[in-house]
Amino acid sequence: MSIHGIFPIDKWDFKSESVLMDLPAEDFALLTANKTEQLYSKGEIIFREAAYPAGIFYIIEGKVKKYKVDKDGREQIIYVANQGEILGYHAILSEDRYPDSAAALEKSRIAFIPREDFLNTLQQSAVLSKRLLKTLSHEFAVLANSISAFAQKSVRERLALQLIVLREKYKVNFQPGMPVEINISRNDLANIVGTVRESAVRILTEFKEAGIVQTKGRKIIVLDVNQLIKIANYK
């Protein structure tokens, strides 16, 4: 089922796939004149926090996690980026280093666009400039909601909320009634929720016993998204 109308998914999920969609042909040609493509294996690093940005990254196929690592080496996954989204542009726009790291969540094909091409296109393309500004504004709102959730919601509520968001990201050629398989490790799920693996597994087991989700190995299938919405207590 679609959750639009019963859950405000846009408050919790920022997407940049529309930034390059149907970009004027001359703008797209300028942007991609020197692009290169690379295959990344699951877990392979795309860029690291504090490195200087040489360009932006466009996800052609696959999924990427953006994350930070604390002083004890623990990951906090900030966001899962999907096919069609761009990464790394924040650091270029702020003329700073990467504020976080990025790694492939699954086998992914990603294009690299040099910094100069991105900036030149941004100067010449009113469409791209407007879209990026809109995207940055939306991201700020989503991050504010996420900070509020971490401060005010229980682990159980946060896990339900993230399963709702991940369900949307893992839809492929979706039709009403089709099951959606979330293919994610329990460690990555815990790092998205902001808890330890044991707590994520325990609550996931409770959801499974209640008939809310089904698991097949590392895959999670949401059976009752309405129950997750109730548990998430998003209002």
Phi, psi of 200 (to 5 degrees): -60, -45
Question: What type of residue sits at position 192?
Answer: I
Q: Over the stretch 113-158, which tens digit does the pLDDT of each residue have? A: 999 999 999 999 999 999 988 888 877 777 777 777 777 789 999 9
153-232: CATH topology is Arc Repressor Mutant, subunit A (1.10.10)
3-class state of residue 164 by DSSP = helix
Q: What is the pLDDT of residue 174?
A: 67
- For the chain, residues with pLDDT lower than 70 are 1-5, 8-9, 12, 14-17, 173-175, 234-235
Contact 92, 115 (CB under 8 A): yes
SS3 content of the chain, % helix, strand, coil (to 5): 40, 20, 35
The angle at the Cα of 42, spanning 36 to 47, to the nearest 5 degrees, equals 50
CATH class (in words) of the domain with range 10-139: mainly beta
pTM summary value: 0.86
Domain boundaries along the sequence of the chain: 10-139, 153-232
Say which residues have a Cβ less than 8 Å from residue 46's Cβ, sequence separation at least 6.
40, 57, 64, 87, 102, 103, 104, 110
